[in-house]
Structure 1
């Protein structure tokens, strides 16, 4: 039985990756920081270690055929930043994989990384990708467009009554569900792909995303189009006006809004279904405007 080692297993995508590889008949080893965070994970073995501390990784990849890492942080906390986690922790995993003679290392990156190189989160990820591609281990880089969960901001704004967009709202994206991304990752690895830009089955403009969000909450669209200058000014001010844990992710998302994020279509999950499920499971305060809640389904 082939053995896969999954880093970032307790996160949203990591849990889907564990389930996908178990479904494919692999022996799944999940790296976790703290055992209490580990349940439920579809893994055959849990390994507690700190990827930021190389000594704790010694020997944990013995007999492993594949490492898949979606290890990274969005909000910088616990005194750790992007360079400590997205870069150095992944590099520590790579060096251990080299010592264990692992056959392939797959890494979840971001789309349009070349255009977002000035963003700290992306700079750290890109630096690791450069080291990975220089490694003697074969590699697969997966660059997703954005997760369904990232689109929740549109739903939140629609529930508040207005959606704010920058420019004319024509930028395009095909966001992807975590389960579909896990499947696409496993397929790319099995095919020996070096790099794959991955998106979901539906392409939306930002305006269409706003309209879908309003339709799901049962309200007429009220969209405010802000000059793109506002976005650029906000990007300039963020490092001076907001703490690092806020400015880091905000700089990434505001920067990404300037580009089309369209990858090769994968999967079957619908963003509309995702929005309606979120509304239906968010409690009475948020479910009031959901078509699913109104129909009693």
Structure 2
């Protein structure tokens, strides 16, 4: 039986990765920070350790065939930097994998990273990929366009009654559901691919995603387009006035909004269905709350 070690297992994508590999017959070991909060993971073994502290990783990959890391900061709640986590923690994982004789290391990166390397989040990831590609371990780097969960911001704006877009809203993206991305990553590591730029089955402009969100809510479409100079101004000002946990993700998203983010189409799950599901779940909750 093949064995896989999943880092970032309790995150949005990590949970799908555990389920995807386990469904393929792998023995799944999940790296977690808190075992009690991870007992619902679809994993055979839970390893409680801190990837930012290399001494806690000693021996955890012995007998492992494949490491897949989706480890990274999304919302900087614990004060750690991208350099400490997206670069440093992943480098600690790589060094332990090298010591343990792991055959392949898979890593979840960012689409169009070369064009966004000035963004701290992307820079830390890209620096790690540079280290990974010089390692003696075979590697698979998967760079997704964006997640369905990222697109939920459009649904939030639609619920508030208006979607705000920078510029024309014509930049394109094919976001991918976490389950489809996990399957694409498993396919890529099994096929021995070196690099995969990936996205979901449907490509939209940003304006089209906003319209999808309004349609899911059965609400009138109200879209306001802001001059792109305001996006650029926000990029310049945010690091000076907002804490890192806010301006870090904002820098990434505001930069990505200025580019087409389209990867190789994979998967079957549709963003329109995802929005309708979320809209229906919210409506059901609200109905229960107002029922006497």
| Cα distance between partner residues in 2 of 1:77 and 1:207 | 31
Two-structure CA RMSD over aligned residues (Å): 1.2
Aligned residues of 1:106 and 1:140 also touching (Cα < 8 A): yes
| Cα distance between partner residues in 2 of 1:40 and 1:142 | 26
Match of 1:55 in 2: 55
| Cα distance between partner residues in 2 of 1:39 and 1:203 | 36
> Does residue 200 of the first structure (1) align with residue 200 of the second (2)?
yes
1:114-161 CA deviation, whole Å, 9 max, x = no partner? 111111100100000000001000000000000000001100011111
After superposition, the Cα gap between the structure-2 partners of 1:287 and 1:212, relative to the gap in structure 1 and judged at 3 Å, is: farther
Unaligned runs of 5+ in 2: none
Secondary structure, in 3 states, of the residue corresponding to 1:60?
coil
> Does residue 9 of the first structure (1) align with residue 16 of the second (2)?
no
Match of 2:234 in 1: 234
Match of 1:276 in 2: 276
Deviation at 1:75, TM superposition (A): 1.7
| Cα distance between partner residues in 1 of 2:281 and 2:30 | 28
Match of 1:64 in 2: 64
> Does residue 136 of the first structure (1) align with residue 136 of the second (2)?
yes
Match of 1:40 in 2: 40
Aligned residues of 1:3 and 1:66 also touching (Cα < 8 A): yes
| Cα distance between partner residues in 2 of 1:257 and 1:51 | 31
Aligned residues of 1:280 and 1:287 also touching (Cα < 8 A): no
250-259 or 269-278, which moves further after superposition?
269-278
Match of 2:24 in 1: 24
Aligned residues of 1:201 and 1:268 also touching (Cα < 8 A): yes
Deviation at 1:240, TM superposition (A): 0.6
Deviation at 1:81, TM superposition (A): 1.0
After superposition, the Cα gap between the structure-2 partners of 1:168 and 1:287, relative to the gap in structure 1 and judged at 3 Å, is: farther
After superposition, the Cα gap between the structure-2 partners of 1:287 and 1:86, relative to the gap in structure 1 and judged at 3 Å, is: farther
Deviation at 1:279, TM superposition (A): 1.8
Secondary structure, in 3 states, of the residue corresponding to 1:6?
strand
1:227-246 CA deviation, whole Å, 9 max, x = no partner? 11010000000001111100
Aligned residues of 1:279 and 1:286 also touching (Cα < 8 A): no
| Cα distance between partner residues in 2 of 1:241 and 1:154 | 25
- Matched ranges for 1:60-99 at <5 A: 60-99=60-99
Secondary structure, in 3 states, of the residue corresponding to 1:232?
helix
TM-score (norm 1): 0.95
After superposition, the Cα gap between the structure-2 partners of 1:256 and 1:286, relative to the gap in structure 1 and judged at 3 Å, is: farther
1:221-268 CA deviation, whole Å, 9 max, x = no partner? 111011110100000000011111000000000000000000000001
> Does residue 145 of the first structure (1) align with residue 145 of the second (2)?
yes
Work out the number of aligned pairs and report it. Answer: 288
Deviation at 1:284, TM superposition (A): 5.1
Match of 1:159 in 2: 159
Unaligned runs of 5+ in 1: 289-297
Secondary structure, in 3 states, of the residue corresponding to 1:115?
helix
Match of 2:245 in 1: 245
Match of 1:101 in 2: 101
After superposition, the Cα gap between the structure-2 partners of 1:53 and 1:287, relative to the gap in structure 1 and judged at 3 Å, is: farther
> Does residue 219 of the first structure (1) align with residue 198 of the second (2)?
no
Runs of 4+ in 1 over 4 A off after TM superposition: 283-288
